[in-house]
Structures are given as C-alpha cells and as structure tokens.
Amino acid sequence: MKTLLQLSVIAVLLWGCSKGTSNPDKAAATEAAFAKYPESQGKTVYRQNCNKCHGYKWPETRTAEKWPGIIDRMARKAKLTDDQKAAVLDFVKTNAKAS
C-alpha cells in the first residue's frame, strides 16, 4: 500500500512537470498568432506573463471596453508594474474586437 502511494505521488509530480514540455506545433501556432500584432512593449509583456497560469486570451476575443477590468485583476496576479500593466492594456485594447 505504501509503495502504491509513493508511485501515485511520483506519477502526479511527473505529470505536473510534463505540462511545461515544449510542443513544436503549439509553439509554431503561437508564433503565427502573435505575428499579426505589431511589436510593442505591451505585446512583449503579454507574451512573457499572460500564459503562465492559463492559455493566452487573444485580444480580439474581447471588446476594448471589457479589457480594463480583466487586466486590473490579472495584473495584480501577475505582479505587473504600473507601466507594464498600462502597456498590456494598450496592447489588448488596440487589438480588441469591435464593440
């Protein structure tokens, strides 16, 4: 029984670590998706921070009016500086879907 518990713990740990394993197809799709946006500080900060806890939420999935509340909540969780938060907000609002 103790061995089964130990194996279960090891399996869970390995599964958790495998989440970060790179997937070339997914990486290529992400690169292609980001290529359509102009380079900016906001795009860079978004790429570095906004997929650590969840997948990317692309700017055009929300309206410009919806993004400020989302960015307020997420910036605190991501521990963004005020400048980073402003840059990300500008990035998502500029590329948001039309109202």
Say if residue 99's pLDDT is above 90. no
Which residues are CB-contacts of 63 (< 8 A; sequence separation ≥ 6)? 96, 97, 98, 99
- pLDDT tens digit sequence for 29-53: 999 999 999 999 999 999 999 998 8
Boundaries of domain holding 59? 38-99
Say if residue 24's pLDDT is above 90. no
pTM, 2 dp: 0.73
Q: How far apart are CA 99 and CA 96, in angstroms?
A: 9
Please indicate, yes or no, if residue 30 is contained in any of the structural domains.
Answer: no
Q: How far apart are CA 42 and CA 80, in angstroms?
A: 11
Residue tagged 């102009």 (tokens): 38
Please indicate, yes or no, if residue 81 is contained in any of the structural domains.
Answer: yes
CATH of the domain at 54: 1.10.760
Tally of domains within the chain: 1
Say if residue 85's pLDDT is above 60. yes
